[in-house]
Structure 1
Amino acid sequence: MSKDLKRIVEIGLLIYPEVHMATVLGLTDLFNLSNKNKQDALFPTLKVSHWQFDCITQKVIRINETYPELHTEPSIIILPPSLADPISIQLAQTYIPWLRQQNLNGAILASICAGAFLLGETGLIQNQKITLHWQHKELFEKRFPHIQLDLDPLIIDTGEIITAGGVMAWVDLGLQLVERYLDRTAMLKTAQILLVDPPGRQQSYYRAFSPKFDHGDDIILKVQKWLQDVYTQQINLSDLAKYACMEERTFLRRFKKATGMTSIDYCQHLRVDHAREKLQNSQVSIDRISWEVTMIQAPLEKSSTELLG
């Protein structure tokens, strides 16, 4: 192999307590495999390094690497997901100075799933939109209220920061980086060998509707629980307001303040989630499910006065 360091792209993987090691090892194998799928020797070689905090030196150090004879610095640092709860604020401080320095040196920072919590603690994504697994949404927003979330894409790439959604999004991230640093042919061949789809999925395909129940409005909570049972029936705004013992306008205002959405959007999410579950867990045909959803919606569209808000 040529020792021209300009043709080496080092990808660093950070190993921290409770890290998802399957992601670390999986990405290592994926990048090593992609090197074999290059169509042109002029393309860079992907070098993989593993980094960990050393208790003796009190520094984050390189503990493993491919092509150790080639002395390089990471072009990108990947923060894998965690098997436990997202990394705590206190533990994250162990890695923040090193991550900031890597970014200052020109390295891209990338996170997968709960790895976004460590990325958030760096303070480098205050004005950027990121993604992570939708189950972490509320906790992330509490810890980082000034960071924007978009939970529909599986990957958001802003150039200097890359974030990926769920735990298994490491496959999509890895393939996207192969295409970025090598070429599309190498990416497609790697995906073919691994029997995985090329990047392009959306996190929204998998996300279940998770209503907000911790808002503290007991009356609206009562309506929400009722809707879980009756949303497939022909209901309108007057039904909901009557059940809540409120005027319609008061109900609309209270419902949106508590849940963050209008009652009609709320019911629509319930129905879509119902259809998604049927598609995933039953043998009912798509046509039948579509018909059911259409029939449920029809009564709500009779007139503007009957809409759910």
Structure 2
Amino acid sequence: MTLTTFAVEKFAVAKVYVIAYEGCYAGSLSNPQDLYMVANAHWREQYQGREGEFEWQTLSLGGEPVVTASHLKIAVDGPFVDLETGSIIVVPAMAYPGGRELNKKLESLSEIINWLVKQYANNCIICTHCTGSFILAESGLLNGHSATTSWWLAEQFRQRYPEITLKADQLVVDEGRLLTGGANGAEMLAALIMVERYMGRAVASQCARTLLVDTNLTQQAPYLILPRQKQHSDSLMLEIQDYLEKNLSDAFSLERLAQRFCISSRTLMRRFKEAVGDTPNSYLQNLRIEAAKKLFEATSLSTDAVMLRIGYADTSSFTRLFQRKTGLSPRAYRMKFGLAPRGEQISSM
């Protein structure tokens, strides 16, 4: 991760307010506070006698203790109040309720969401990640901006918030005063961005080394599972999707596919895009890349053997597509997630 560059200015205190609510993740709530504590120690060590430190409080809606998703009871410092201009707000992720329960959960957080809108208008910074991105998105503050969330929630986020540009491959998206992140660990990267803004790159780098935060991890793309996209009611398109899944290695032809299902090419393209949100060829590419990932993870087949098994004959084309979809070359992906192929020595990318 390349930390954003800001000039280090003399500051008295940077106020951080961590929001606690029922069912939030304890680590998501406490990890940034630990990092700010370490940042203060490095700041004092590096700039003895120079003013500046982070101060933080944990707030809940009524100032009452809350119980986290892992059943830890968290005492807080007080209730919600109007914050000082420029304060940093940390919204932890919530345990994902799933399906229709998500609506109920977000509705139960409406007072928190309204409070976030008010504080943002007072020039506050809001940092969140994972399911917390849904909380921030409900406020409308992200409309017209870019954001990210956990890779496995990407499709639901994209459908629910079409006015937000989702960058699901990114681990952290920094929009200045709105920072969103992916899954576990992204809250630490967002906090490091805040440390760099206030204390500079040297202190941020020291914090990363002290807490073993991998600042080179910037993408979720290698972890993405490309969606099957079957949440629609077009039965013919579902049949076509099933056919493509079962015939991955066949050469793709839109005309032949249309003939097989007694439909015109133009109608097939239109209905497929309406139902699936993608073209048949792009959908097939996703299926093939997912199949390749599984083969790299679970077998010792060579890259050429994997490529041929899923329907590609040109190595450079396959490698470019794989890298575009996953953020890694086939060799790098196998190094990270899979088994070494027979006869290949994997020592470097």
Structure 1 match to 2:53: 45
Q: 2:88 aligns with which of 76, 83, 98?
A: 76
Find the aligned partners of 1:267 and 1:142 in 2 and give their Cα distance.
21
Counterpart pick for 2:183 among 161, 166, 179: 166
TM-score, normalised to structure 1, is: 0.80
**Displacement of 1:115:** 0.8
Which range moved further: 214-223 or 245-254?
Answer: 245-254
Deviates more, 1:17-26 or 1:163-172: 163-172
For the Cα contact (< 8 Å) 1:103–1:109, is it kept in 2? yes
Report the CA distance shift for 1:109/1:283 in structure 2 as closer, same or farther (over 3 A): same
Residue of structure 2 equivalent to 1:63: 76
Instruction: Report the counterpart of residue 305 of structure 1 in structure 2.
Output: none
Report which stretch shifted further, 253-262 or 97-106: 97-106
Shift in Å, 1:256: 1.9
Residue 24 of structure 1: which of 5, 24, 29 is its match?
Answer: 29
Instruction: Call closer, same or farther: CA 1:12–1:276 in 2, change over 3 Å.
Output: farther
- Where structure 1 has 5 or more consecutive residues not aligned to the other structure, the ranges are 57-61, 66-70, 302-309
Question: How many residue pairs were aligned?
Answer: 286
Q: Deviations over 1:143-177 (max 9, x none)?
A: 43433322222211111211112233222222222
Q: Report the CA distance between 1:77 and its aligned residue.
A: 0.5
Deviation at 1:224, TM superposition (A): 0.6
Matched, 1:249 2:243: no
User: d(CA) in 2 for partners of 1:270 and 1:49?
Assistant: 47
- CA shift digits 1:67-122 (9 cap, x unpaired): xxxx9777210111112325734212221343233223321112211112221232
**Equivalent residue for 1:95?**
112
For residue 19 of structure 2, what is the aligned residue in structure 1? 14
Q: Which is further off, 288-297 or 163-172? A: 288-297
1-side partners of 2:189 and 2:299: how far apart? 28
Q: How far apart in 2 are the matches of 1:288 and 1:76?
A: 51
Q: CA deviation at 1:201?
A: 1.2
1:8 offset after TM fit, Å? 1.2
Say whether the 8 Å CA contact 1:233–1:296 is kept in structure 2. no
Residues 94 and 261 (structure 1 numbering): CA distance in 2 closer, same or farther, change over 3 Å? same
User: Residue 63 of structure 2 contacts residue 77 of structure 2 at CA under 8 Å; is this kept in 1?
Assistant: no
- The Cα offsets for residues 122-161 of structure 1, whole Å up to 9 and x where unpaired, read as 2322222222123334443454343332222221111121
SS of equivalent to 2:143: coil
SS of alignment partner, residue 153 of structure 2: helix
Kindly indicate whether the alpha-carbon contact (under 8 Å) linking 2:42 and 2:206 is maintained by their aligned counterparts in 1: yes
Equivalent-residue separation in structure 1 for 2:121 and 2:266 (angstroms):
53
Any conservation in 2 of the 1:81–1:167 contact (CA below 8 Å)?
A: no
Is contact 2:96-2:131 (8 Å) kept?
no
More strand as a share of residues = 1
**Secondary structure of 2:185's match?**
helix
Cα distance in 2, alignment partners of residues 233 and 297 from structure 1: 14
Shift, 1:213, TM fit: 0.6
TM-score (norm 2): 0.72
Distance 1:209 1:92 in 2: 30
CA contact (8 A) 1:165 1:203 kept: yes
Residues 282 and 76 of structure 1, relative CA distance in 2, 3 Å threshold? farther
2:330 corresponds to = none
Cα 1:203–1:288 shift into 2, 3 Å = same
Is 1:189 paired with 2:196? no
2:198 equivalent to 1:156: no
Mark the runs of 5 or more structure 2 residues left unpaired by the alignment. 1-9, 65-74, 319-349
Question: Is the CA contact 2:29–2:91 (under 8 Å) kept in the aligned structure 1?
Answer: no
Q: 1:213 to 1:94 in 2, by over 3 A?
A: same
Rounded Cα–Cα distance in structure 2 between residues aligned with 1:137 and 1:167:
15
Letter of the 1:229 partner, please give it: K
Structure 1 residues 105 and 235: alpha-carbon distance in aligned structure 2, compared to 1, 3 A threshold: closer
Match of 2:275 in 1: 258
Which position in structure 2 is the counterpart of 1:270? 287
Say whether residues 1:131 and 2:123 are aligned partners.
Answer: no
Name the counterpart of 2:62.
54
* Residue identity matched to 2:215: P
In the TM superposition, residue 21 of structure 1 has moved relative to its aligned partner by 0.6
Q: CA deviation at 1:184?
A: 1.7
Say which of 113, 129, 133 aligns to 1:112.
Answer: 129
Cα distance change of structure 1 residues 289 and 196 upon mapping to structure 2, 3 Å threshold: farther
Residues 32 and 55 of structure 1: is their aligned pair in 2 closer, same or farther, counting only changes over 3 Å?
closer
Q: CA RMSD in A?
A: 3.1
Q: Measured at CA, do residues 278 and 116 of structure 1 come closer, stay the same or move farther in structure 2, by a change above 3 Å?
A: same
